[in-house]
C-alpha cells in the first residue's frame, strides 16, 4: 500500500522520527496516522529503555523564571555527549521540564529518591485512613498501594502528568527526547524557588 507523502511529512513533523521509522509505522498501521503515532511512541519508549543504562556525562544547567520573577527553577539535565547538549531539541526539552517544575512543584526526581521516613509517615497516614473501612486485608493493601502510587505521582517529577500534555508523564516526555536525539537523557537534580 502506497502511503501519501503528506502523511509521512505530518508524522515526521509531529514526532521528529526518522523517515524509515515513520514509513514502517504507517505501513504497520495501514495508513492510519493515529495508530502510526501510537506505534512510534511505543518504539520510542523501547529505545529509551535500551539507552537508559548508558552513562550521561554531558548536559546542561538551565534556568526558568515565571510570574514576574516570583518563581525560579534551576535544572540539571544530562545526556551522553556535548553534541546533543548543544542541540536545540535538547534545550527545548530542558526548558519544558523546567517549566513543568515551576508549575507542578515536585519534591523528588523519582520514587527511589523519596526518603524512607517520608514514605513511612505517608504510609502510616494511609493505614489510619483505611483502618475504619471494614474491608478484607487484601483490599485494604490494594487501597494503600494505590494511595502510595498517587503520592509518588504527586511528588515525583518523572511520575507527574506533563504540564504541556497530560496524556503523558514527564518520564514519557524524556523518552520522546531520547528517541529523537538517540542518547540517554536523565534529570540530574533541580531546585525550585518561590517568593
pLDDT for position 122: 92
pTM of the shown model? 0.71
pLDDT for position 148: 93
Look at residue 51 and tell me whether its pLDDT is greater than 70.
no
Query: Domain 58-109+156-194 adopts which CATH fold?
Result: Tetrahydropterin Synthase; Chain A (3.30.479)
Cell of 186: 536523565
Please state, in angstroms and rounded to a whole number, the distance separating the CA atoms of residues 90 and 151. 29
Pairwise pLDDT comparison (155 vs 46), residue with the higher score = 155
Look at residue 52 and tell me whether its pLDDT is greater than 70.
no
Beta strand pairing call for 161-162 and 165-169? antiparallel
CB 188 within 8 A of CB 76: yes
CB 178 within 8 A of CB 167: no
CATH 1.10.8.10 boundaries in the chain: 5-51
| pLDDT-wise least confident of 62-76, 103-117, 152-166, 176-190 | 176-190
pLDDT for position 192: 96
Torsion-angle region of 69 (φ positive above 0: left; ψ -120 to 50: alpha; else: beta): left
pLDDT for position 140: 85
Angle between helices 19-28 and 5-15 (to 10 degrees): 120
Query: Domain 5-51 adopts which CATH fold?
Result: Helicase, Ruva Protein; domain 3 (1.10.8)
pLDDT bracket for residue 35 (50, 70, 90): confident
CATH 3.30.479.20 boundaries in the chain: 58-109+156-194
Amino acid at each position: 500500500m502506497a502511503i501519501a507523502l503528506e502523511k509521512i511529512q505530518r508524522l515526521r513533523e509531529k514526532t521528529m522520527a526518522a523517515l524509515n521509522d515513520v514509513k514502517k509505522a504507517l505501513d504497520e498501521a495501514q495508513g492510519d496516522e493515529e495508530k502510526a503515532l501510537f506505534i512510534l511512541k511505543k518504539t520510542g519508549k523501547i529505545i529509551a529503555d535500551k539507552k537508559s543504562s548508558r552513562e550521561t556525562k554531558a548536559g546542561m544547567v538551565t534556568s526558568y523564571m515565571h510570574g514576574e520573577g516570583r518563581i525560579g527553577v534551576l535544572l540539571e539535565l544530562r545526556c551522553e555527549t556535548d553534541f546533543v547538549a548543544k542541540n536545540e531539541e535538547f534545550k527545548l526539552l530542558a526548558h519544558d521540564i523546567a517549566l513543568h517544575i515551576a508549575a507542578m512543584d515536585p519534591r523528588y526526581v523519582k520514587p527511589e529518591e523519596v526518603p524512607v521516613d517520608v514514605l513511612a509517615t505517608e504510609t502510616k497516614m494511609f493505614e489510619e485512613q483505611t483502618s475504619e473501612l471494614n474491608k478484607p486485608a487484601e483490599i485494604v493493601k490494594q487501597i494503600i498501594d494505590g494511595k502510595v502510587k498517587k503520592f509518588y505521582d504527586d511528588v515525583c517529577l518523572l511520575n507527574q502528568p506533563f504540564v504541556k500534555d497530560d496524556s503523558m508523564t514527564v518520564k514519557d516526555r524524556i523518552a520522546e527526547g531520547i528517541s529523537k536525539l538517540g542518547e540517554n537523557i536523565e534529570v540530574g537534580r533541580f531546585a525550585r524557588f518561590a517568593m
